[in-house]
Structure 1
């Protein structure tokens, strides 16, 4: 995702310097005009630094850890984090940035890399309004939809709610697809019908195709989705919000991981449902 975001910034004319813990991953960006630095502290000459990492602790480490962004003699004016992390980690990093005189904007992005590259990403941001207004032109280079949700960590909750809904919609899709297929309806025909109905959407189109092909090449794997459900259900407990459907889907994601689909795309929830329905794994006779 960080590569796709960087490509969008370069295409928009931004003067871009990049760093990755795996240095080889920066080469495609260097070939397109970016400058690569060997250490993350090399980014601090920039006024605005974007961060994209996989987990809460990664964000804490790259910003506040030894050799992190705040450890350099010069610090950036603004740090913009586009990862999906917990509100607690985001708040910790925000406090550290504030103490260092650095503005912090939590700006998680929605959409897999292919969709973001095709101009279908969405960003929800939270932090001081003046910081948001300053960074907005760059966010708009990355995604056509950019929304300001509040002054602190509200964007983290929005993104987690979004990913909870991804899991719930996917589980609903695999259930009805399995029912139709076991009743003799070709998977492709059923998905085509859904896409042409009021229920059709970009999401159903993409995930439906994955079900038809039983192609679970990961855009977002089950381990990552489980992490987001952990965060979402934790927020629900804190806010005393019942989440019966999310809780059930959480266990089905865990079941998919137990069946060996941890690193596969979460569309592999279809395999759990198909097995539970007594359908032979890999049986494409009704495609």
Structure 2
């Protein structure tokens, strides 16, 4: 029987990782942190206690569980299997959980690397955004063995509303791809609907109040319609990150021979938003693109 997890390391204290690690500290766990920008790690320990360390490997020493939440595949490799990465400090029998939205190929690569060191692994991308991380209400999609999932689940519950094992390593990332594919189409549909309502001279808030109670309702509609109507996008999940995620989806689709015509189209719409200077705008800024496009 695996020993109870009491000490954890958290690698990556961005807009998601910072509050996620905070939930673990508030739960009474000893939390060791690393962040590429050391000042942010210092700010985290000043707020939550624990300890900050100069490398992922040092942060991972003595940790029963190491959690990673960084930017992309290359970032994950650097902080896990790279020089002074987490695996250099992890002990046999410990567990690595990667919360980064990354490729399924990377998840399988990390799983193999961990097994060579007697370390468990889960790929566990999250959905719910900064608000979900702060409120401890993330959806967490996990890939890995049942035994590793059973060890990690009680810890992930501290910031997850729904924590689900989807299958072997890579399954969490594949499920997150489905999530992003669905979001892309939903946001474009919502943007087009609001644009149409505006052009038709309708009270858009009243329109949303009516249709959100029926089949058209969605999380995006509930949480993004007001800021879209007000043309406010300096918040939320950045277009740059969505394009990174959609690139992963489209690459995986080519491997699977899956057809994603709408996703590919919306990805190009996001490229238009980037060209408008909106790389840091929320993904709902697709509406601003429609307002900017002149009819032929």
Are the counterparts in 2 of residues 109 and 122 from structure 1 also a CA contact under 8 Å?
yes
Deviations 1:188-220 (A, max 9, x none): 333333334443343312111220221111321
- Alignment partners' CA distance in 2, 1:174 and 1:194: 14
Aligned to 2:38: 23
- Alignment partners' CA distance in 2, 1:76 and 1:24: 31
Q: Is residue 264 of structure 2 the alignment partner of residue 247 of structure 1? A: yes
Aligned to 2:95: 78
Aligned to 2:48: 32
Deviations 1:231-287 (A, max 9, x none): 111111111111121121111111111222112111111111112255xxxxxxxxx
Are the counterparts in 2 of residues 69 and 75 from structure 1 also a CA contact under 8 Å?
no
Are the counterparts in 1 of residues 238 and 280 from structure 2 also a CA contact under 8 Å?
yes
Q: Choose which of 180, 193, 198 in structure 1 pairs with 2:210.
A: 193
Aligned residues: 278
Deviations 1:33-92 (A, max 9, x none): 222222222222101000001101100111111111122385671111011001112222
User: 1:174-193 maps to which residues of 2 (within 5 A)?
Assistant: 174-193=191-210
Q: Secondary structure at the match of 1:269?
A: helix
Q: TM-score, normalised by structure 2?
A: 0.88
- Shifted more, 110-119 versus 236-245: the winner is 110-119
- Alignment partners' CA distance in 2, 1:122 and 1:41: 28
The 1:104–1:176 alpha-carbon spacing in structure 2 relative to 1, beyond 3 Å, is: same
Q: Secondary structure at the match of 1:273?
A: helix
Aligned to 2:280: 263
- Alignment partners' CA distance in 2, 1:277 and 1:174: 16
Q: Is residue 22 of structure 2 the alignment partner of residue 7 of structure 1? A: yes
Are the counterparts in 2 of residues 46 and 76 from structure 1 also a CA contact under 8 Å?
no
Q: In proportion to residue count, which structure has more helix?
A: 1
User: 1:96-245 maps to which residues of 2 (within 5 A)?
Assistant: 96-245=113-262
Deviations 1:110-169 (A, max 9, x none): 111112322431001111110000111001111120110012211101001101211110
The 1:21–1:34 alpha-carbon spacing in structure 2 relative to 1, beyond 3 Å, is: same
| Structure 1 gaps, min length 5 | 279-287
How far off is 1:221 after superposition? 1.0
Q: Secondary structure at the match of 2:30?
A: coil
Q: Secondary structure at the match of 1:133?
A: helix
Aligned to 1:282: none
Q: Following superposition, which runs of at least 4 residues in structure 1 exceed 4 angstroms of deviation?
A: 73-76
Q: Is residue 73 of structure 2 the alignment partner of residue 65 of structure 1? A: no
Q: Choose which of 40, 43, 51 in structure 1 pairs with 2:59.
A: 43
Are the counterparts in 1 of residues 98 and 125 from structure 2 also a CA contact under 8 Å?
yes
The 1:197–1:119 alpha-carbon spacing in structure 2 relative to 1, beyond 3 Å, is: farther
| Structure 2 gaps, min length 5 | 1-15
- Shifted more, 180-189 versus 46-55: the winner is 180-189
Q: Secondary structure at the match of 2:251?
A: helix
- Alignment partners' CA distance in 2, 1:245 and 1:143: 30
Are the counterparts in 1 of residues 135 and 159 from structure 2 also a CA contact under 8 Å?
no
- Alignment partners' CA distance in 1, 2:204 and 2:277: 23
How far off is 1:186 after superposition? 3.0
